[in-house]
Amino acid sequence: MSSSLAGRVIVVTGSGRGLGREHALLLAREGASVVVNDLDEDGHGPAHDVVKEIHAFGGQAVADSHSVTTWDSAAQIVDTAISAFGRLDGLVCNAGFLRDRMLVNMTDAEWDDIIKVHQYGTFYVLRHAAAHWRGRHKAGEEVNASVVTTTAISGLHSNVGQVNYGAAKAAIALMTVSASRELERYGVRVNAISPLARTRLTVGSLGSGDHGNSDPDDSLSPAHASPLVAWLLSPECASNSQVYGVFGRQIHRYTGWTSAESATAEEDWTPDSVAAALRGWPDHYDPGFIPGLPEPTPAS
């Protein structure tokens, strides 16, 4: 890469496997000290395995097993970075899983579980990290920090069977843009990625290949997303308020909802005048999926 993350301290949530693992490994190889967060038990599990991998090539990392789903435990994730390395410079909100179900069959638990981990989990950790950076800024320190959140195609384009996941991921995209506008004054940039990759979560919808594959020739390898994450976390990067789709060797920049057709009435609207004004407009929503990207289907 053209820039180094040497000296940066970065938390990656959900980094014991899949995308998060690839992020943590690359960030450590680029010189960052990484907090590898995942739900381990008794000092054993995927987060500790990733830390061992990082230590094996001479990198700096510690494991953290706190959940992103509660206010207090999310605060402890930030505290782990400060306790272990003395500061926090970057945050990757990656933790998540799927509970796919058609709307008419979805349970309240399947809705709540997804919203809790993705939407609340992003907010909680971001909120505590933001307080840390604001405090440093108010103390007179020049802060240069960066956050990368994780949205998804389901939140940007929609996907059948993922009302819960799509709602959470759409919220994260807007949370990203709103947070970037608030935190820029403190020296914090906030961007989002929408990765499309084969992991243990998407193996049912994106094929049954090796979901731990880091082969660069595999267009669905999660390793393809990590260089973008590393760049967004770099102190040399100026990107802010952006949402990037990343798939294989493709990167796309998204923009928000925009007005398409419009109509103006000379008098107050009536149902009949609305019908007349909207006549000829599209009757169905076009999700505008990007040509060339494999559209995922729900795993169940």
Note the pLDDT tens digit of each residue in 205-221.
444 444 445 555 567 88
262 lies in some domain: no
More confident residue, 245 or 200: 245
- For position 4, what pLDDT does the model report? 81
- For position 218, what pLDDT does the model report? 67
Provide the annotated active-site residues.
165
Q: Range with the lowest mean pLDDT among 33-42, 91-100, 269-278?
A: 33-42
More confident residue, 267 or 205: 267
Query: Could you give the number of structural domains in the chain?
Result: 1
- For position 215, what pLDDT does the model report? 55
More confident residue, 281 or 3: 281
The answer to whether residue 199 scores a pLDDT higher than 80 is: no
141 lies in some domain: yes
- For position 144, what pLDDT does the model report? 98
Residue 59 tokens read as 């990198």
268 lies in some domain: no
150 lies in some domain: yes
- For position 211, what pLDDT does the model report? 43
For residues 122-144, give the mean pLDDT: 98
The answer to whether residue 92 scores a pLDDT higher than 90 is: yes
The answer to whether residue 67 scores a pLDDT higher than 50 is: yes
Helices 121-138 and 71-85: crossing angle, nearest 10°?
A: 50
- For position 40, what pLDDT does the model report? 80
Share of the chain above pLDDT 90, in %: 79
259 lies in some domain: no
206 lies in some domain: yes
Q: Record the pTM.
A: 0.90
- For position 43, what pLDDT does the model report? 67
CATH code of 52's domain: 3.40.50.720
Question: Burial of 235 by CB count in 10 Å (0-12 exposed, 13-18 middle, 19+ buried)?
Answer: middle
Q: Which domain holds residue 113?
A: 9-254
pLDDT tens, position by position, 38-51: 998 766 799 999 99
For residues 228-257, give the mean pLDDT: 95
292 lies in some domain: no
Average predicted confidence (pLDDT) for the chain: 91
273 lies in some domain: no
